[in-house]
Structure 1
């Protein structure tokens, strides 16, 4: 199957779905399309609430494309690469409408950042999370602010340092990432749909104002996440990371 980003709008609910056959690891072009789709939905008067989801039954998102990562040869290219998730997170942050996250399975790295940047995140019990960046000599610099904002510095630092471990969905719920954890995808989808329908009955102006409140203190994120992307772009060229990446080729 080919990678894609799709949007379907029904009764005020915009379902935005992304997919890549490599466990939903996202290359730069898919991330750019995803950011633009979220931005467009935010300005579409037909849309009252967004649902962010991924295709497939297993992994929600395995982070950024590893194939692109191993081919970075200069800092400028590295910054552009790591800006992919930064741009999606900022699109979610500035979208004036609530975004519901639908997390059906494991999520890694940038995928955890996407989950954290939703306004109301729901998951199955299979939706374990991991920040694996330290394993290859970089860190979750770009997604860190979103994760810290949602889960707190203690939880973010725990999963960032323990980069080899998947933390279960119930742990992520206890730390504030997920609002609820369901037994299976069917139960998750029913709950997501009910929540989205309920939000469509609320005053759009009130929700837009609440969204501003939720994201208070993040107005510097355009610059902050660009700076973090530059840090990752520099570190990915280090001898340590180059040696690590050789083992994955």
Structure 2
């Protein structure tokens, strides 16, 4: 992203955001409600138009590239609220995504191996899953497209502590397999534990961008609540 800006009408939700995600890197995007996190992910995925700046991927400018073509190129979004097909089974949700998959290691069996909690649920309707099971299914569905970049919005929002543990166990598996992930997370401790790098947004702008090994929780909290702006 280079000088990326996005709007909702007159509201400037994302303001001049510039950063890159490296191959195999897990980046946590944090910030208070309304900071612009979801809009940023949707803009990268092609689901929301940019107002200014650019998104480039694998050396190519994505201006004018529609969302479905970005999926073909290897960008997959797990949206806030999961957005599963409730009247389809877990397996059917996965297979729908797999019909347009890029070549790669992820297929029904490898995805179920990575998400073992889903194997006994493969015949259950998505609408009858718990929140944690739905989130695992949504991430698994995105993997079925064999993405090079996985965008996950609000990883733990609305989930029980046990469900969050299960989802993060799956994310650890992805990290260990060198997946490239940009995730939105409200839980600072979870974000710092799973990510290689943390980026904090405040009112649509980046106020912190640091390796998690080189930042303290107090520094993140200070940026999160806007107690200090970068010089």
TM-score, scaled to structure 1? 0.30
TM-score calculated relative to the size of structure 2 = 0.32
- Structure scoring higher RCO (CA < 8 A, sep ≥ 6) equals 2
**More helix as a share of residues:** 1
